[in-house]
């Protein structure tokens, strides 16, 4: 009986988390770019898994209910996220039309150290309200329904799903390295990133306007 409950909680955490993170989002595109460049990939994967586990754990512990009672927190978080996504999207589109080919292919990437790469990834992760909607509110609220120690089992299942996804993304990036040996694929990736960022920014902003 106890083994069945543990298995059910782990599978629930794994499937719910995996179904939400498999999407073309800002964080995934950034990790894919780093994997194609072959720079600080393990650190990026480790950060993504850590942030997912941390935010899901916070949601399971009750932060989802707290955010529901404090709408001002969600408002200012959404405002910062919308502005950041707008700026990042415009910069990605600028690279599409104006960046030199050598810059697109990562010739200057060696100048970016580990701290710089992780700082950018942290901002993309933590200033994106969609991340909180997925991890803290949706996954966290589902995990909060588990009984006692099964909450930890649920989070462990979610952590395994996050680790699996980002490892697959890193492997995919390595296999695409030969394709990204030319500037055009980089411009296509930047165009996709820019459009995605602007769409997310508009989605966040329209949601704030509807609430206001």
pLDDT at 71: 62
Question: CA 204, CA 76: separation in Å to the nearest integer?
Answer: 11
176-209 pLDDT tens trace: 888 877 778 878 878 887 887 788 778 767 766 5
Highest mean pLDDT among 22-26, 36-40, 199-203: 36-40
162-177 pLDDT tens trace: 999 999 999 988 888 8
Torsion-angle region of 112 (φ positive above 0: left; ψ -120 to 50: alpha; else: beta): beta
pLDDT at 103: 54
64-95 pLDDT tens trace: 566 556 666 667 766 776 787 788 788 888 88
Residues near 66 by beta carbon (within 8 Å), at least 6 away in sequence: none
Domain ranges of the chain: 2-211
pTM above 0.75, yes or no: no
The dihedral through the CA atoms of 116, 47, 16, 69 has a sign that is negative
């Amino acid at each position: 009986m106890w083994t069945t409950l543990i298995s059910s909680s782990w599978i629930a955490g794994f499937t719910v988390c995996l179904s939400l993170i498999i999407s073309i989002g800002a964080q995934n595109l950034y990790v894919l770019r780093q994997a194609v460049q072959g720079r600080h990939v393990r650190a990026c994967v480790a950060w993504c898994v850590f942030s997912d586990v941390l935010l899901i754990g916070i949601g399971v512990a009750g932060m989802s209910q707290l955010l529901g009672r404090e709408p001002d927190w969600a408002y200012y978080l959404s405002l910062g996220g919308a502005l950041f996504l707008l700026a990042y999207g415009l910069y990605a589109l600028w690279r599409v039309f104006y960046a030199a080919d050598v810059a697109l292919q990562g010739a200057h990437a060696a100048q970016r150290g580990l701290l710089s790469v992780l700082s950018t990834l942290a901002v993309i992760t933590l200033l994106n309200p969609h991340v909180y909607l997925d991890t803290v509110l949706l996954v966290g609220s589902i995990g909060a329904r588990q009984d006692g120690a099964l909450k930890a089992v649920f989070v462990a299942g979610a952590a395994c799903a996050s680790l699996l996804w980002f490892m697959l993304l890193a492997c995919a990036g390595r296999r695409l390295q030969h394709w990204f040996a030319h500037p055009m694929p980089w411009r296509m990736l930047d165009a996709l990133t820019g459009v995605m960022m602007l769409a997310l920014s508009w989605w966040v902003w329209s949601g704030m306007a509807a609430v206001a």
